[in-house]
Structure 1
């Protein structure tokens, strides 16, 4: 007698689940509604085509839709819908246990000794003045050698279709961020990998190298407006902090280290959000955030637009 209600409930749940699944848009339908305008011909010139995106892993597509370069366009999608879009684009299932390959790792990792003591390039402009200039002594290279330069090695970023970040070179290592959020420490002579650190989302800032205690740290930001400090020798995270909660906020300018403080410029892609008639534009103010380089604690924040946003009217659909 007691088995009938249980059986009925199980059958009822199964039927409801099946009905919901039948009503859920397919990945193809979601792509057509949300993505096709830019990613299929004639599309947008800079937007990769469906075929190009299909070369990426489904996990990388999900990351781009969740907190990466396409997060703004995918705000209305649920996690399941983002996964469905990723699986449609790539033709492969999303794996819960995606791992980074160990191929190309260095056989040994020597101690990182005074990375700023010899030829190096740190940050965007290699100095507080942002001159993007070095003497021959500082660079370990003079203009007479430039015509003789040839390709020594090449590195392909896994699960990526674009490379944005400017590398930093220090202590015989090359530090560079990637579209999918991985930071790589490569041997400058051979290109083999010493370690990899995974940020929350894509990294397109240059990396700044600076002293910290008895060692050195790498400072950078991601397109989710998060700032990081990691150990230059091991890649271990020292601290991370979100500096702006606006949905369009991102960090593309290199953090600058000066006298124990980290100066971080914060920008946005709110103009993309404004393309949605239901979005109440414009609320992003732009800012520079100053953090304690040792702890990541915020010291001060200065907005480009001092005035706080306030309603100025309503659009045709009632959006404030």
Structure 2
């Protein structure tokens, strides 16, 4: 998802700080009227204020109030190793320290009190059970589908979920990655807290906790790290490294950088298969282009395969050739470069039967437009050689220096690094937020399904990329349409639509089910805001942000989906009937690890399950949404 959602992290940034999705508690201290201006204010005014003081509706730039919920650690990471490194590179050390100090309240070291008071008496991690899921997509098909046996839950159980326990992350305002459940252990990326943790599924007590050199932003992948190797966990760090841990002990086994472009973040989650780790590589130029003097743009997306034993790169498929000077300068005097962009924001899928990797891409960030932007791509698992490319939208050349839509549209004016506006680009930012899903049809009639921020759901022939059918829900927006993922129950594909702040008569916010065999709409459910009672007091968003953005999850005959206003919806998958709702935002929590906890928006990789439990990431402060810091564990009411 060109997501500055995917960038996010998610996990989300000065202009794109939202992109890193990182957030933490601690407001900047109030300044008395007679005090001299904070030295960081001048830096903020010069480099940040234009985007963050009053972001227009639908902007991915975080309002300054959201930046002030982020910790000094998070802000510094975003500006030095994260998505906004190009902005940070324009600051000297004094300026960097000043702007971070201006936005975030200085804090003592994070410590381990949030872990130590909740250690398990029995710290055994039993890996003999089959994993409930192996990655963000649940399986190699990216199906987001679990059987009753995998989840330990039946459809009837999901109609009576209630909170069993919650675990709070310190200095956190957004939860981006999902965990992996193996037996009675849930492995979880507590990224903003700087750890990966192993928790007991039934109580939330800590079996092990490993501090990581850099925040682990994304969902974890689980599998053997090479032939005869240990069962491992693989995550992506904000620094751009992959990190592999021993699942039994939490010991860090290796860290490696698989990127061809050292400024690109790893936004989508990896997938482990047969000694290889398939890694999606995104890009940072889309946000860096907001700097008028930035030479836009040079980076491009890729998919890499690395050796599971040590992270050594085996092959890389590039979305395009390296950028070259275009022989022109922008209005700010910077040299223009291209082609660029087509980052891979989402998690890939792997068809083991045909030896094919499927990945989806985002928009170009500078011209010339390429055939690989806003596309689904098939490549050979063994070599990375391209098999076919399906492009859903041509000429979608856009970066955050551009308005959305026509360069004459109302809103933010054309910036210097949108020098190509009016030259044929559609300026829509309608990339693929959802990774490709391999649908296993009857009699071997498989289908590749993709969800796009345009509101489109596409069905493709897996051998050729030929379009089988298409359904569009709403008009799409840069943060709307299908944002993070789709799911299937083996008959239907489920498309959550977010459409934040889109007028009601134009919005498709809600859940849409399509029969995969025919391409016909099976059922639709429209979300509606609820700003009554405690919700008006406990949630910071409810009116314009109530759609479904997080990737949904199918368990048995039920479909689970989280909303941007913090509600978890449980539907009957066949009919769309609402079976249950749990409000994770307007709830008071007493986390088992005895630190303050609050819920918020459900976004990104919001849901996973296993061992008779459903786990929900409640809190996502990016894009002006409701921050929170609790992993909510749900079980059927007894």
For normalisation by structure 2, the TM-score amounts to 0.43
Matched residue of 2:181: which SS?
strand
Cα separation, partners in 2 of 1:192 and 1:68, compared to 1, 3 Å: farther
Q: 1:28 aligns with which of 9, 18, 41?
A: 41
Distance 1:245 1:77 in 2: 25
Q: Which runs of no fewer than 5 residues in structure 2 stay unpaired? A: 1-37, 337-638
Q: 1:319 aligns with which of 327, 331, 335?
A: 335
Distance 1:198 1:47 in 2: 30
Aligned 1:198-277 pairs, distance under 5 A? 198-212=211-225, 213=228, 215-244=230-259, 246=261, 248-277=263-292
Per-residue displacement from partner, 1:22-57 (whole Å, max 9, x unpaired)? xxx911211222222333335675544444443443
Matched residue of 2:188: which SS?
strand
Distance 1:27 1:226 in 2: 30
Q: 1:90 aligns with which of 104, 108, 111?
A: 104
Per-residue displacement from partner, 1:104-150 (whole Å, max 9, x unpaired)? 431334322225x2461220112111111121112211101101111
Distance 1:109 1:236 in 2: 18
Which structure is richer in relative contact order (CA contacts within 8 A, separation 6 or more)? 2
Cα deviation, residue 84, structure 1:
1.6
Matched residue of 2:162: which SS?
coil
Q: Is the 8 A contact 1:67 1:201 kept in 2?
A: no
Q: Is the 8 A contact 1:53 1:161 kept in 2?
A: no
For normalisation by structure 1, the TM-score amounts to 0.81
Aligned 1:64-79 pairs, distance under 5 A? 64-79=78-93
Residue 124 (str. 1) matches residue 136 (str. 2):
yes
Q: Which has the higher helix share?
A: 1
Cα deviation, residue 248, structure 1:
3.8
Distance 1:209 1:107 in 2: 22
Per-residue displacement from partner, 1:213-232 (whole Å, max 9, x unpaired)? 46421011134321111111
Distance 1:69 1:156 in 2: 25
Cα separation, partners in 2 of 1:38 and 1:176, compared to 1, 3 Å: farther
Cα separation, partners in 2 of 1:142 and 1:261, compared to 1, 3 Å: same
Note the aligned Cα RMSD (angstroms).
Answer: 2.5
Distance 2:96 2:295 in 1: 24
Q: Is the 8 A contact 1:119 1:139 kept in 2?
A: no
Cα deviation, residue 190, structure 1:
1.6
Q: Is the 8 A contact 1:73 1:273 kept in 2?
A: yes
Matched residue of 1:312: which SS?
strand
Q: Is the 8 A contact 1:68 1:202 kept in 2?
A: no
Q: Is the 8 A contact 2:300 2:318 kept in 1?
A: yes
Of 279-288 and 39-48, deviating more is 39-48
1:304 alignment partner in structure 2: 319
Cα separation, partners in 2 of 1:160 and 1:80, compared to 1, 3 Å: farther
Distance 1:272 1:200 in 2: 25
